Structure 1
Protein backbone atom coordinates (compact mmCIF):
# COMPACT_ATOMS: atom_id res chain seq x y z
CA UNK A 1 0.00 0.00 0.00
CA UNK A 2 1.40 3.41 -1.02
CA UNK A 3 1.94 6.01 1.67
CA UNK A 4 -0.46 8.92 1.49
CA UNK A 5 1.09 12.33 0.81
CA UNK A 6 1.63 14.52 3.83
CA UNK A 7 -0.95 17.21 4.40
CA UNK A 8 0.72 20.60 4.74
CA UNK A 9 -1.23 23.16 6.72
CA UNK A 10 -0.07 26.77 6.75
CA UNK A 11 -0.54 28.57 10.05
CA UNK A 12 -3.04 31.16 8.83
CA UNK A 13 -1.87 33.82 11.25
CA UNK A 14 1.45 33.95 9.35
CA UNK A 15 -0.09 34.25 5.86
CA UNK A 16 -0.86 37.55 4.17
CA UNK A 17 -3.57 37.90 1.51
CA UNK A 18 -4.45 41.29 0.03
CA UNK A 19 -6.98 41.87 -2.74
CA UNK A 20 -7.35 45.13 -4.61
CA UNK A 21 -9.24 46.18 -7.75
CA UNK A 22 -7.23 48.52 -9.95
CA UNK A 23 -8.65 50.85 -12.57
CA UNK A 24 -6.42 49.52 -15.36
CA UNK A 25 -6.42 46.56 -17.76
CA UNK A 26 -4.65 43.39 -16.68
CA UNK A 27 -1.93 43.60 -19.37
CA UNK A 28 -0.90 47.03 -18.09
CA UNK A 29 -0.82 45.91 -14.45
CA UNK A 30 1.32 42.91 -15.43
CA UNK A 31 3.69 45.21 -17.34
CA UNK A 32 4.27 47.54 -14.37
CA UNK A 33 5.21 44.50 -12.23
CA UNK A 34 7.65 43.21 -14.85
CA UNK A 35 9.79 46.22 -15.75
CA UNK A 36 12.11 48.09 -13.36
CA UNK A 37 11.39 51.47 -14.95
CA UNK A 38 7.79 51.04 -13.76
CA UNK A 39 8.54 49.40 -10.40
CA UNK A 40 10.59 52.41 -9.28
CA UNK A 41 7.51 54.59 -9.69
CA UNK A 42 5.23 52.71 -7.27
CA UNK A 43 7.04 50.08 -5.18
CA UNK A 44 7.19 50.75 -1.46
CA UNK A 45 5.06 52.49 1.13
CA UNK A 46 4.11 56.16 0.73
CA UNK A 47 7.20 58.37 0.81
CA UNK A 48 9.64 55.53 0.10
CA UNK A 49 11.79 55.47 -3.03
CA UNK A 50 13.37 52.64 -4.98
CA UNK A 51 16.71 54.13 -6.07
CA UNK A 52 18.10 50.82 -7.29
CA UNK A 53 16.20 47.90 -8.80
CA UNK A 54 17.48 45.20 -11.12
CA UNK A 55 15.47 42.22 -12.24
CA UNK A 56 15.74 39.30 -14.58
CA UNK A 57 12.05 38.77 -15.26
CA UNK A 58 11.88 35.08 -16.12
CA UNK A 59 11.51 31.88 -14.07
CA UNK A 60 14.80 31.37 -12.25
CA UNK A 61 15.77 35.02 -12.71
CA UNK A 62 16.65 37.14 -9.69
CA UNK A 63 15.68 40.60 -8.56
CA UNK A 64 17.53 42.91 -6.19
CA UNK A 65 16.14 46.21 -4.99
CA UNK A 66 17.12 48.95 -2.59
CA UNK A 67 14.24 50.78 -0.94
CA UNK A 68 14.84 54.02 0.96
CA UNK A 69 12.54 55.45 3.64
CA UNK A 70 11.71 59.17 3.86
CA UNK A 71 14.15 59.33 6.82
CA UNK A 72 16.93 57.82 4.69
CA UNK A 73 17.08 54.29 6.12
CA UNK A 74 17.83 51.66 3.49
CA UNK A 75 16.10 48.32 3.06
CA UNK A 76 17.52 45.75 0.63
CA UNK A 77 15.46 42.91 -0.76
CA UNK A 78 16.21 39.96 -3.00
CA UNK A 79 14.22 37.20 -4.61
CA UNK A 80 14.00 34.69 -7.41
CA UNK A 81 11.11 34.42 -9.85
CA UNK A 82 9.51 30.98 -9.52
CA UNK A 83 6.59 31.12 -11.94
CA UNK A 84 5.47 33.71 -14.49
CA UNK A 85 2.32 33.31 -16.58
CA UNK A 86 1.67 36.46 -18.60
CA UNK A 87 -0.61 38.32 -17.87
CA UNK A 88 -2.09 36.42 -14.94
CA UNK A 89 0.52 35.25 -12.42
CA UNK A 90 3.88 36.22 -10.95
CA UNK A 91 5.43 34.15 -8.17
CA UNK A 92 8.75 34.89 -6.47
CA UNK A 93 10.72 34.31 -3.33
CA UNK A 94 11.29 37.32 -1.06
CA UNK A 95 13.89 38.02 1.58
CA UNK A 96 15.30 41.10 3.24
CA UNK A 97 19.09 41.45 3.11
CA UNK A 98 20.76 42.77 6.28
CA UNK A 99 23.59 45.34 6.53
CA UNK A 100 26.18 42.54 6.29
CA UNK A 101 24.61 41.23 3.09
CA UNK A 102 23.03 38.19 4.74
CA UNK A 103 19.52 37.09 3.72
CA UNK A 104 16.76 36.91 6.29
CA UNK A 105 13.68 34.72 6.47
CA UNK A 106 12.38 33.80 3.01
CA UNK A 107 8.73 33.93 2.00
CA UNK A 108 6.94 33.13 -1.24
CA UNK A 109 4.89 35.88 -2.92
CA UNK A 110 2.25 35.03 -5.51
CA UNK A 111 0.47 37.79 -7.40
CA UNK A 112 -2.66 36.82 -9.33
CA UNK A 113 -4.20 39.21 -11.87
CA UNK A 114 -7.77 38.70 -13.06
CA UNK A 115 -9.82 40.74 -15.49
CA UNK A 116 -12.56 42.68 -13.74
CA UNK A 117 -15.13 45.26 -14.71
CA UNK A 118 -16.82 45.90 -18.01
CA UNK A 119 -14.70 44.60 -20.89
CA UNK A 120 -11.69 43.89 -18.67
CA UNK A 121 -11.07 47.58 -18.01
CA UNK A 122 -10.17 46.81 -14.40
CA UNK A 123 -7.89 44.27 -12.76
CA UNK A 124 -8.43 42.30 -9.58
CA UNK A 125 -5.01 41.87 -7.97
CA UNK A 126 -4.60 39.24 -5.25
CA UNK A 127 -1.31 38.99 -3.37
CA UNK A 128 -0.54 35.92 -1.25
CA UNK A 129 2.66 35.92 0.83
CA UNK A 130 3.70 33.15 3.20
CA UNK A 131 5.00 31.83 5.45
CA UNK A 132 6.14 34.62 7.76
CA UNK A 133 8.25 33.91 10.79
CA UNK A 134 5.86 35.93 12.98
CA UNK A 135 2.57 37.82 13.02
CA UNK A 136 4.59 41.02 13.53
CA UNK A 137 6.48 40.40 10.28
CA UNK A 138 3.22 39.66 8.47
CA UNK A 139 1.68 42.89 9.76
CA UNK A 140 4.72 44.92 8.70
CA UNK A 141 4.44 43.52 5.18
CA UNK A 142 0.71 44.19 5.17
CA UNK A 143 1.43 47.86 5.82
CA UNK A 144 4.15 47.94 3.17
CA UNK A 145 2.11 46.23 0.48
CA UNK A 146 -0.98 48.31 1.26
CA UNK A 147 1.04 51.50 0.77
CA UNK A 148 2.60 50.09 -2.40
CA UNK A 149 -0.80 49.19 -3.82
CA UNK A 150 -2.12 52.71 -3.13
CA UNK A 151 0.83 54.05 -5.14
CA UNK A 152 0.31 51.36 -7.81
CA UNK A 153 -3.37 52.31 -8.19
CA UNK A 154 -2.48 55.98 -8.67
CA UNK A 155 0.34 55.13 -11.09
CA UNK A 156 -1.66 52.85 -13.42
CA UNK A 157 -4.58 55.29 -13.40
CA UNK A 158 -2.23 57.91 -14.93
CA UNK A 159 -0.84 55.63 -17.66
Structure 2
Protein backbone atom coordinates (compact mmCIF):
# COMPACT_ATOMS: atom_id res chain seq x y z
CA UNK A 1 0.00 0.00 0.00
CA UNK A 2 1.32 3.43 -0.93
CA UNK A 3 2.18 5.89 1.81
CA UNK A 4 1.03 9.32 0.64
CA UNK A 5 3.98 10.87 2.49
CA UNK A 6 6.19 9.15 -0.08
CA UNK A 7 4.27 10.57 -3.04
CA UNK A 8 4.98 13.93 -4.60
CA UNK A 9 3.19 16.36 -6.85
CA UNK A 10 4.63 19.36 -8.66
CA UNK A 11 2.81 21.87 -10.88
CA UNK A 12 4.27 24.31 -13.41
CA UNK A 13 2.53 26.65 -15.85
CA UNK A 14 3.76 27.17 -19.41
CA UNK A 15 2.78 29.83 -21.99
CA UNK A 16 2.01 27.26 -24.71
CA UNK A 17 -1.03 25.24 -25.76
CA UNK A 18 -1.67 21.87 -24.13
CA UNK A 19 -0.89 20.22 -27.48
CA UNK A 20 2.49 21.96 -27.69
CA UNK A 21 3.33 21.09 -24.07
CA UNK A 22 2.33 17.47 -24.69
CA UNK A 23 4.75 17.32 -27.64
CA UNK A 24 7.55 18.65 -25.41
CA UNK A 25 6.95 16.05 -22.69
CA UNK A 26 6.57 13.04 -24.98
CA UNK A 27 8.61 13.37 -28.19
CA UNK A 28 12.19 12.11 -28.04
CA UNK A 29 13.85 15.04 -29.82
CA UNK A 30 12.21 17.49 -27.43
CA UNK A 31 12.68 15.27 -24.33
CA UNK A 32 16.42 15.23 -24.92
CA UNK A 33 16.54 19.00 -24.52
CA UNK A 34 15.29 18.90 -20.92
CA UNK A 35 15.26 15.36 -19.49
CA UNK A 36 17.15 15.13 -16.22
CA UNK A 37 18.11 17.71 -13.60
CA UNK A 38 20.27 20.73 -14.39
CA UNK A 39 23.92 19.70 -14.84
CA UNK A 40 22.96 16.20 -16.03
CA UNK A 41 23.35 15.04 -19.62
CA UNK A 42 21.68 12.03 -21.23
CA UNK A 43 24.33 9.99 -23.07
CA UNK A 44 22.26 6.93 -24.03
CA UNK A 45 18.52 6.45 -24.20
CA UNK A 46 15.43 4.92 -25.70
CA UNK A 47 13.05 7.67 -24.58
CA UNK A 48 9.78 7.82 -26.46
CA UNK A 49 6.79 8.67 -24.32
CA UNK A 50 4.46 8.85 -27.35
CA UNK A 51 3.52 5.16 -27.12
CA UNK A 52 3.27 2.39 -24.52
CA UNK A 53 6.39 0.28 -24.14
CA UNK A 54 9.82 0.12 -22.57
CA UNK A 55 12.12 3.11 -22.13
CA UNK A 56 15.47 3.84 -20.51
CA UNK A 57 17.81 6.78 -20.02
CA UNK A 58 21.46 6.77 -18.98
CA UNK A 59 22.63 10.09 -17.59
CA UNK A 60 25.96 11.56 -16.56
CA UNK A 61 26.66 14.28 -14.01
CA UNK A 62 29.30 17.00 -14.20
CA UNK A 63 31.77 14.90 -12.16
CA UNK A 64 31.26 11.79 -14.30
CA UNK A 65 28.79 10.00 -12.02
CA UNK A 66 26.31 7.88 -13.99
CA UNK A 67 22.62 7.23 -13.44
CA UNK A 68 20.39 4.71 -15.22
CA UNK A 69 16.58 4.77 -15.03
CA UNK A 70 14.14 2.52 -16.87
CA UNK A 71 10.51 1.55 -16.99
CA UNK A 72 7.43 1.05 -19.08
CA UNK A 73 5.19 3.72 -20.57
CA UNK A 74 1.81 2.56 -19.25
CA UNK A 75 -0.58 4.99 -20.90
CA UNK A 76 -0.60 7.82 -23.42
CA UNK A 77 -3.65 10.08 -23.76
CA UNK A 78 -2.78 13.06 -26.01
CA UNK A 79 -2.77 15.89 -25.12
CA UNK A 80 -3.78 15.18 -21.53
CA UNK A 81 -1.50 12.66 -19.88
CA UNK A 82 1.24 10.09 -20.07
CA UNK A 83 2.17 7.61 -17.36
CA UNK A 84 5.20 5.43 -16.83
CA UNK A 85 6.92 3.26 -14.27
CA UNK A 86 10.28 4.40 -12.90
CA UNK A 87 13.19 2.51 -11.34
CA UNK A 88 16.84 3.37 -10.87
CA UNK A 89 19.52 0.79 -11.59
CA UNK A 90 22.42 0.32 -9.19
CA UNK A 91 26.09 0.21 -10.20
CA UNK A 92 25.77 -3.52 -11.06
CA UNK A 93 22.83 -2.82 -13.37
CA UNK A 94 20.25 -4.31 -11.01
CA UNK A 95 16.90 -2.54 -11.27
CA UNK A 96 15.61 -1.16 -7.98
CA UNK A 97 12.16 -0.55 -6.52
CA UNK A 98 9.60 0.59 -9.05
CA UNK A 99 7.55 3.75 -8.62
CA UNK A 100 5.02 5.45 -10.91
CA UNK A 101 5.05 8.81 -12.67
CA UNK A 102 2.16 10.61 -14.37
CA UNK A 103 2.43 13.83 -16.37
CA UNK A 104 -0.98 15.52 -16.61
CA UNK A 105 -1.70 18.61 -18.70
CA UNK A 106 -4.61 21.00 -18.16
CA UNK A 107 -5.56 24.17 -19.98
CA UNK A 108 -4.76 27.23 -17.89
CA UNK A 109 -5.84 30.58 -19.31
CA UNK A 110 -4.10 30.95 -22.66
CA UNK A 111 -1.46 28.38 -21.71
CA UNK A 112 -1.16 25.00 -20.04
CA UNK A 113 -0.31 23.57 -16.62
CA UNK A 114 1.83 20.45 -16.21
CA UNK A 115 1.35 18.34 -13.10
CA UNK A 116 3.95 15.72 -12.26
CA UNK A 117 2.83 13.06 -9.82
CA UNK A 118 5.47 10.58 -8.67
CA UNK A 119 3.88 7.85 -6.54
CA UNK A 120 5.00 4.81 -4.58
CA UNK A 121 8.46 6.05 -3.67
CA UNK A 122 9.75 3.81 -0.87
CA UNK A 123 10.82 6.49 1.64
CA UNK A 124 10.15 10.15 2.45
CA UNK A 125 13.85 10.85 1.80
CA UNK A 126 13.58 9.48 -1.74
CA UNK A 127 10.40 11.50 -2.30
CA UNK A 128 12.28 14.64 -1.22
CA UNK A 129 15.24 13.79 -3.47
CA UNK A 130 12.94 13.18 -6.44
CA UNK A 131 11.08 16.43 -5.76
CA UNK A 132 14.40 18.30 -6.05
CA UNK A 133 15.28 16.40 -9.24
CA UNK A 134 11.89 17.00 -10.88
CA UNK A 135 11.97 20.70 -9.88
CA UNK A 136 15.37 21.11 -11.51
CA UNK A 137 14.15 19.18 -14.57
CA UNK A 138 11.11 21.47 -14.84
CA UNK A 139 13.48 24.46 -14.75
CA UNK A 140 15.26 23.01 -17.79
CA UNK A 141 11.94 22.43 -19.59
CA UNK A 142 10.84 26.01 -18.85
CA UNK A 143 14.09 27.35 -20.34
CA UNK A 144 13.74 25.30 -23.55
CA UNK A 145 10.05 25.24 -24.41
CA UNK A 146 8.95 27.53 -27.22
TM over 0.5: yes
> What is the match of residue 27 of structure 2?
35
Pick the structure with greater CA Rg: 1
> What is the match of residue 125 of structure 1?
114
| 3-state secondary structure, aligned to 1:71 | coil
Give the paired residue count. 145
Quick one: structure 1 residues 47 and 55, their matched pair in 2 at CA, closer, same or farther if it must change by over 3 Å? closer
Aligned with 2:51 (options 58, 76, 87)? 58
After TM superposition, where is structure 1 displaced by more than 3 Å over at least 4 residues in a row? none
Q: 1:53 touches 1:64 (CA, 8 Å); kept in 2?
A: yes
| Residue segments in structure 1 that go unaligned for 5+ positions in a row | 1-7
Residues of 2 paired with 1:30 and 1:100: CA distance?
34
Aligned with 1:22 (options 14, 19, 22)? 14
Q: Highest relative contact order (Cα 8 Å, sep 6+), 1 or 2?
A: 2
> What is the match of residue 98 of structure 2?
106
Q: 1:40 touches 1:51 (CA, 8 Å); kept in 2?
A: no
Residue 154 (1) aligns with residue 146 (2): no
Residues of 1 paired with 2:112 and 2:63: CA distance?
33
Q: 1:18 touches 1:127 (CA, 8 Å); kept in 2?
A: yes
* Length-normalised TM-score, structure 1: 0.86
> What is the match of residue 76 of structure 1?
68
* Length-normalised TM-score, structure 2: 0.93
